[in-house]
Amino acid sequence: MNAYEQYMKEISQPMRTELTEAGFRELTSTEEVDEFIHSAEGTSLVVVNSVCGCAAGLARPAVRESLNNNKRPDNLVTVFAGQDREATSRMREYFVGIEPSSPSMAVMKDGKVLHFIPREDIEDHDVEEIVSNLSQAYNKHC
């Protein structure tokens, strides 16, 4: 691992921990992504994490707050754009017809995206709007 990769790994660790402490399982390889997609039962929330400011100030806080909803996904997983490139790329293959976006969030079931929140619906929105968007998706699909 070169100095840049080591630096990025160290700087991104708190961003990873923010989700794993909220109950998310990190998928860091293509094999983990495929295994999850093919074996997950019920609904899943997939968060494409990122080091950008809107992930830190909006996406991750909104995701964590949304889990206080009465209805919520059965499974919580995350991939990290720019860090776990292969895993993120593989997960995006399951987001059929959806442009790559990070951060982003997908409510999925049976390997299919039921609801997707791209970066443009995160950036320039407030946490409450994003929580509402997620909660509506949970109420409809979970």
Where do the domains of the chain lie, and which CATH numbers do they carry? 25-141 (3.40.30.10)
Q: Per the confidence metrics, is the pTM higher than 0.85?
A: yes
pLDDT of residue 74: 98
Query: Can you say whether residue 111 is alpha, beta or left, with left for phi > 0 and alpha for psi between -120 and 50 degrees?
Result: left
- pLDDT in single tens digits along all 142 residues of the chain: 789 888 888 888 999 999 999 999 999 999 999 999 999 999 999 999 999 889 999 999 999 999 998 999 999 999 999 999 999 999 999 999 999 999 999 999 999 999 999 999 999 999 999 999 999 999 999 9
Which listed residue (15, 19, 27, 54) is catalytic? 54
Q: Which one of 37, 46, 52, 127 is the catalytic residue?
A: 52
pLDDT score at 6: 87
pLDDT at 53: 87
* Tokens linked to 65: 């707050």
User: What is the reported pLDDT for 100?
Assistant: 96
45 within 8 A of 73, measured Cβ to Cβ: yes
pLDDT of residue 81: 95
142 is catalytic: no
From the CB of residue 85, how many other CB atoms can be counted at a distance below 10 Å?
Answer: 11
Report pLDDT for 8. 82
Q: Catalytic: 52?
A: yes
Give, in order, the Cα–Cα distances in Å from 17 to each of 70, 96, 118, 132. Answer: 24, 28, 22, 24
DSSP state of 24: P
The amino acid sitting at 33 is: V
Q: Which of 89, 73, 80 is nearest to 30 (CA)?
A: 89
Name beta bridge partners: 107. Answer: 45, 115
